[in-house]
Amino acid sequence: MSEAEQPKLAKRLGLWTAIAVVIGSIIGSGIFLVPQKIAMTLGDAGWIIAVWIFGGLLSLAGALTSAEIAGMIPAAGGQYVYFREIYNDFIAFLYGWTTFIVYQTGSIAAIAVAFAKYLGFFFPALNNLQINFGLFIMPEVGIKLVAIGVITFITTVNYFGVQFGGFIQQLFTSLKVLAIAGIVVSCFVFGTQGSHIYTPFFGTFQSASLLSAFGIALVSVLWAYDGWNSVTYLAGEVKDAKRNIPIALITGTIAVILIYVFTNLAYMYILPVQRIAHSNLVAADAISQFFGNNGAALIAVVVMISTFGTVNATTMTTARVYFAMANDRLFFKRISLVHPKYKTPYFSLIVQGFWASVLTLTGTYDQLFTYVIFASWLFYALGTFGIFILRKKRPDAPRPYKTIGYPFVPAVFVIVAVWFVYNTIITDPRDSLFGLGLVLLGLPAYLYWRKSRARMAKEA
């Protein structure tokens, strides 16, 4: 079959699915885990809300910028394709390599494990199952097997059509938002400890210590907002992508900002900030104030819904990055295949699911993810800086959407992203060096595939 006769991805996703992908990609387990760290760092209700708003606006600045580029280049693979167009194949490949080796596959593994651990609330035996191989003991086998089962199920769902995956995404994003809204409303309706939200509010801080504490808290907040750009990977399958991708990016990010701010207000309406700072399960502790012991079970269900939806969003979107790389002959050729009936990058989905399962089984996903988190923000900075390059290189190119507040909005995002990378390297040089090593492992891989591509071009 010639290249022209190969099946192509089909545009089957509408605007609401694209918005659901943005919201579902961002909201995972972060809103249930991060508030404790932020309360411990800042210790003040006003500054806690301020850092959530600031982190949200910063993410929105990235989304506003990415929306312009997405409108110009509505192709499957999103950020990978942008890097190829703005910079070169090498930068694009390193982004795709990092995404595959650990960043997104490690994220899939971590979130699937979070789902399994909360399932363990109802089936405690899952937490205690381990396998002994003589001197080597594999812990949490039950949790890992459930996580792999979730990854396999979601991979299979998306194998059979992007519409099927899109339906699952709409369903679980809707359930997720409704469940979180239920928590927020319940706290304000049934809670009786409302004074906690007001005292203290923007309490006294020494300027130097406030800046340091705010910066530390911002790292956690930005982790909770991560994933806003995932919908760009699906651009090749979204109807009227030049219009709908920018709308989805902006609408979805704004919706998450509102959800996060109101959720934190609800937590602090029920619990004192110092109580939140020492709570490992802040949502469960808040709900338990009026639902008693059933609160923990309710939160476990909500987290399971949330994490399941995020695994689906990440699985569905990220497989398109490797598909685009393979189309450029910079990855395994079979990954570029599209299923003739279901019109999905089925082999890319299979390989992604397999590697995420391996990371889950080995238990290395969490540490590896920590290693490359700084690299992800380096790519965010490069991606956003790309708008300045495109404005100069292609001034007359059609732009269905133009970034609001240009050049200030993208400039602020780039500055903060560079600061984030610098701060990570300074405060955690060991992990940063490991992360840089993982990224640079892509260099020999790139040279191999570039040489292979050149040889194929010569033979053609």
Q: Tens of pLDDT along 25-77?
A: 999 888 998 899 999 999 888 999 999 999 999 999 999 999 999 999 988 89
Asked whether 116 and 274 are in contact (CB, 8 A), the reply is no
Distance of CA 84 to the CA centre of its chain: 21
Residue 193 pLDDT greater than 90, yes or no: no
Give me the helices (H) in 160-240, please: 162-190, 207-225
95-111: average pLDDT? 93
Angle between helices 365-393 and 346-362 (to 10 degrees): 140
Asked whether 108 and 314 are in contact (CB, 8 A), the reply is yes
Asked whether 330 and 86 are in contact (CB, 8 A), the reply is no
Residue 359 pLDDT greater than 70, yes or no: yes
Residue 307 pLDDT greater than 60, yes or no: yes
Helix (H, G, I), strand (E, B), or coil: what is residue 338?
coil
- pLDDT value at position 197? 61
Q: State how far the Cα of 34 lies from the Cα of 222, in Å rounded to an integer.
A: 10
Nearest to 414 by CA among 457, 455, 380: 380
- pLDDT value at position 141? 87
Residue 396 pLDDT greater than 70, yes or no: yes
Range in 5-14, 131-140, 198-207, 388-397 with the lowest mean pLDDT = 198-207
Which residues have a Cβ under 8 Å from the Cβ of 411 and sit 6 or more positions away?
Answer: none
270-293: average pLDDT? 87
Residue 136 pLDDT greater than 70, yes or no: no
Residue 10 pLDDT greater than 70, yes or no: yes
Identify each DSSP E strand in 17-126 by its residue range: none
What's at 90, amino acid-wise?
F
Map tokens 């989905």 to a residue: 349
- pLDDT value at position 194? 54
- pLDDT value at position 295? 83
What's at 66, amino acid-wise?
S
- pLDDT value at position 443? 94
Residue 427 pLDDT greater than 60, yes or no: yes
Break the chain down into helix, strand, coil percent, rounded to 5. Answer: 80, 0, 20
432-448: average pLDDT? 91
Map tokens 């699906």 to a residue: 234
Residue 412 pLDDT greater than 60, yes or no: yes
Proportion of the chain above pLDDT 70, given as a percent? 93
pLDDT band at 196 (very low <50, low <70, confident <90, very high): low
pLDDT band at 279 (very low <50, low <70, confident <90, very high): confident
pLDDT band at 362 (very low <50, low <70, confident <90, very high): confident
pLDDT band at 135 (very low <50, low <70, confident <90, very high): low
Q: State how far the Cα of 113 lies from the Cα of 126, in Å rounded to an integer.
A: 12
Mind listing the pLDDT tens digit for each residue in 201-218?
A: 666 665 567 888 888 888
Which burial class, exposed, middle or buried, applies to 193 when counting CB atoms under 10 A from its CB (0-12, 13-18, 19+)? middle
| Summary mean pLDDT of the chain | 89
Q: CA torsion, points 236, 237, 239, 243, in degrees to nearest 10?
A: -40
Q: State how far the Cα of 34 lies from the Cα of 298, in Å rounded to an integer.
A: 19
Which residues have a Cβ under 8 Å from the Cβ of 151 and sit 6 or more positions away?
Answer: 108, 109, 112, 311, 315, 353, 356, 357, 360
Q: Which domains does the chain have, with CATH numbers?
A: 11-451 (1.20.1740.10)
- Global confidence as pTM: 0.92
Proportion of the chain above pLDDT 90, given as a percent? 60
- pLDDT value at position 100? 95
Distance of CA 124 to the CA centre of its chain: 29
Q: State how far the Cα of 326 lies from the Cα of 333, in Å rounded to an integer.
A: 5
pLDDT band at 424 (very low <50, low <70, confident <90, very high): confident
